[in-house]
Amino acid sequence: MIKVIYNGEVRETGCSTLLELLKETGVVKDDPRSLFGIAVGVNDEMVPKSRLDQYILRENDRIEIFTMIAGG
């Protein structure tokens, strides 16, 4: 198990990749379109959704999930 900061909260996880973690937390569902409108950042760097399965989680990674909201 490693410890990561997930949307501001400490989380222990056995996942090895970012994609696995997003599946574990329910962000990624079976329908690939479910990721439209969502972006992922780790340690203030955007991780392209096409590479979520290649990103190997490290201790203390700060993972943030972003969505689109109404705005001007």
Partner 1 sequence: MDLKDQNALAIGKYSFSSRLFMGTGKFSSSDVMCSAVKASGTELVTVAVRRAKFGGYDDILQPLLKTGVRLLPNTAGSRVAKEAVYAANLARDALETDLIKLEVHPDPRYLLPDPVETLLAAQELVKQGFTVMPYCQADPVLCKRLEEAGCACVMPLAAPIGTNRGLVTRDMLEIILDQASVPVVVDAGIGAPSHAAAAMEMGADAVLVNTAIAVAGDPVSMAGAFADAVRAGYAAGKAGLGKSSLYAVATSEVDDFIAHLED
Residues that bind partner 1 (CB under 8 A): 7-8, 27, 36-41, 44-46, 48-49, 64-72
Least separation in angstroms between CB 65 and partner 1: 4
CA distance 58 to 70: 33
Least separation in angstroms between CB 5 and partner 1: 12
Question: CB-wise, 14 or 41, nearer to partner 1?
Answer: 41
Contacts for 40-49 with beta carbons within 8 Å, 24 or more apart?
Answer: 40/64, 40/65, 40/66, 41/66, 42/18, 47/18
Question: CB-wise, 7 or 16, nearer to partner 1?
Answer: 7
